[in-house]
Amino acid sequence: MSFKTMRRKTSSSAGRRSSTTRRRSENLRFDEFGFALTKRKDQKLHHRCHDYSFTQLSSVRVKELCELLSYWNGGSFICKSQIERFIRMGIPQSLRGRVWKCLLGIDSLRDTSDFSYQKCLLEVRVPLVDLGVSEYGILSAIATLSETQNHLGLNLGEGSGAPVPRYSADDITVFRQIALDLQRSFPTHRSLMGDSPEAIEGQAKLFRVLIAYAKYSPQVGYSQGMSYLAAVLLMQLGEEEAFWALTALLDKPKYLTELFDLNLTRVQHQVKVFDQFLKHRKPLLSQHLESVGVSSVHFVMPWFLTLFTSLPCWDSVLAVWDLIILHGLSAVFRTALTLVELLESRLMDLTDEGAVLPLLLRVPFDVSKYAVFIPALWNTEVQDWELKCMSGLVLDESHHGPVTILAHWPTWRTPASRVPTGPSPPGSEL
């Protein structure tokens, strides 16, 4: 069987599968955030709750927020303190995209960059054309990409009179990796679900944003988890805005620079930092998790790489993102610590890894509910100096073995209003 015949067979079978998906998705209803409404008995299967409890701003507050955004100055302390006040009260869904744009400085980033999003997409389409793959059918092309990848490997170094393809093994690898992750990214959201015109366009947008970032930042490239981040941004922003928002999140030191790289070494380091953080803040729980064989890497890495988008209550997810976009990496640790604290009593009662890990990976509805989780999140404090201290401890241990935490504890005095929950640094009581 020829290679082209294999492609046609793959495409036809993919077409039959997509027709079945289309029939299944007909007559579905969606909630206010775009997720398919399911029967209560199926909500556990999809781990998605539609009983939202987010707060609604009054019309007066909405008007005040609009005015703030209209004269926004990212360098102004007053603007930032005001926007924090609104984030604490709850950002209206209709204004969330504008708030994120202001906080991330998207317009400034785009205006000062030499990178052209549209030009990049034109360049990306060249190898796609040679592969016979469309950005509007990227999910159905997974098998084709896999076959081409194998075919390329088998024929590497062979001379032939055929035209030299305008794609490389690296191109195929990243195309295939993104396509595989696309089908796992929010499969019950209307912008990505099935093969309706809206979903096909949504999948194409997500593919374009991700491949453009891989070209924009080849030293970071595409790695696991990015599809979730880009998908959330596309739910709030236009396509090119979502690209620049993703760029801001992944490139600005304040945000996720220390979480994403090609081989995931950065996120592994941050997981170890959280492990030390947990030992300091919650020593008994840390010891208990260790005794049942659960390591922080088992649950913290998925939380960090997807920025808590696995939480079943989407209003809580968006409130978490508001805080992360406001405060950066420290808010990521703050969110993880809050989840652990809310689950602590249940975790301490469990003595089997098979029960502990699912509780952490599929946080129960009652814990992640906005009215429960978000107030607890705002009452949890994590300071940048704490993270630096724990990071230094991890680095020292990797080079010299176990090190006392006092070697890295700051000696400066911390104002009482800024001291986080947990033991205070030495000297702070003076």
Q: What is the CATH number of the domain that holds 137?
A: 1.10.8.270
315 and 246 co-located in one domain: no
Are residue 212 and residue 278 in the same domain, yes or no? no
Q: Note down the domain range covering 221.
A: 3-14+115-153+166-251
Q: Is 231 within the bounds of a domain?
A: yes
Residue 207 pLDDT class (50, 70, 90 cuts) = very high
63 domain residue, yes or no: yes
Using CB atoms within 10 Å of the CB of residue 250, give its burial: 0 to 12 exposed, 13 to 18 middle, 19+ buried: buried
pLDDT at 26: 58
Q: Coil, strand or helix: which one is 49?
A: strand
- Please give the C-alpha separations between residue 143 and each of 10, 138, 319, in angstroms, as whole numbers: 7, 10, 38
**What is the spatial distance between Cα 319 and Cα 368, in angstroms, rounded to a whole number?**
11
What pLDDT, in 10s, does the model give residues 115-161? 999 999 999 999 998 888 899 988 888 877 888 777 665 554 455 55
> Residue 241 and residue 58: Cα distance in Å, rounded?
28
According to the model, what pLDDT value does residue 59 have? Answer: 95
Decide if 26 is inside a domain.
no
187 and 289 both lie in a single domain: no
E strand or H helix that includes residue 27: none
Q: Does position 291 have pLDDT exceeding 70, yes or no?
A: yes
Residue 193 lies in a domain: yes
How do residues 350-374 score in pLDDT, each as one tens digit?
999 999 999 999 999 999 999 999 9
- Cα 49 to its chain centre, rounded Å, is 19
Residues 219 and 295 in one domain: no
pLDDT for the residue numbered 215: 96
Confidence band for 249, pLDDT divided at 50, 70 and 90: very high
At residue 426 the predicted structure's pLDDT band, cuts being 50, 70 and 90, is very low
Residue 135 DSSP code: G
The total domain count for the chain is 3
My answer on whether 238 and 264 are in the same domain is: no
Is 345 within a domain?
yes
Domain boundary among 206, 230, 251: 251
What is the reported pLDDT for 47? 85
Q: Output the CA angle 369-375-378, nearest 5 degrees.
A: 130
- Residue 31 pLDDT > 70: yes
Mean pLDDT of the chain: 85
Q: What pLDDT score was predicted for residue 6?
A: 39
Average pLDDT over residues 274-286: 95
- Percent above pLDDT 70 for the chain: 82
For residue 221 the two structure tokens come to: 């490239």
Q: Are residues 87 and 227 in the same domain?
A: no
Q: Are 264 and 401 part of one and the same domain? A: yes
Helices (H) and strands (E) in the chain, counts: 21, 0
In a domain, 380, yes or no: yes
Higher pLDDT, 398 or 177: 177
Pair 292, 337 in one domain? yes
Asked if the structure places residue 187 within a domain, the reply is yes
Take residue 257 and report the two structure tokens written for it. 């620079």
Length of the chain: 430
**81 phi and psi, to 5 degrees?**
-70, -35
CATH of the domain at 390: 1.10.472.80
Does residue 33 fall inside a structural domain?
A: no
Per-residue pLDDT band for 171 (boundaries 50, 70, 90) equals: confident
How far is it, in rounded angstroms, from Cα 91 to Cα 83?
A: 9
Structure tokens at 314: 């989407």
| Domain's final residue, options 251, 276, 304 | 251
Residues 73 and 211 in one domain: no
Closest CA to 216 of 254, 183, 174: 174
Backbone dihedral angles phi then psi of residue 73, each to the nearest 5 degrees:
-135, 110
More confident residue, 49 or 118: 118
Residues 276 and 408 in one domain: yes
The Cα–Cα gap between 138 and 128 comes to: 10
Domain boundary among 205, 229, 251: 251
- Residue 194, CA distances (Å) to 155, 182, 310, 334, 354 in order: 35, 12, 20, 35, 33
User: Per-residue pLDDT for 418 more than 90?
Assistant: no
Same domain as 333, residue 233: no
Say yes or no: 316 and 395 in one domain. yes
Please tell me what DSSP assigns to residue 35: B
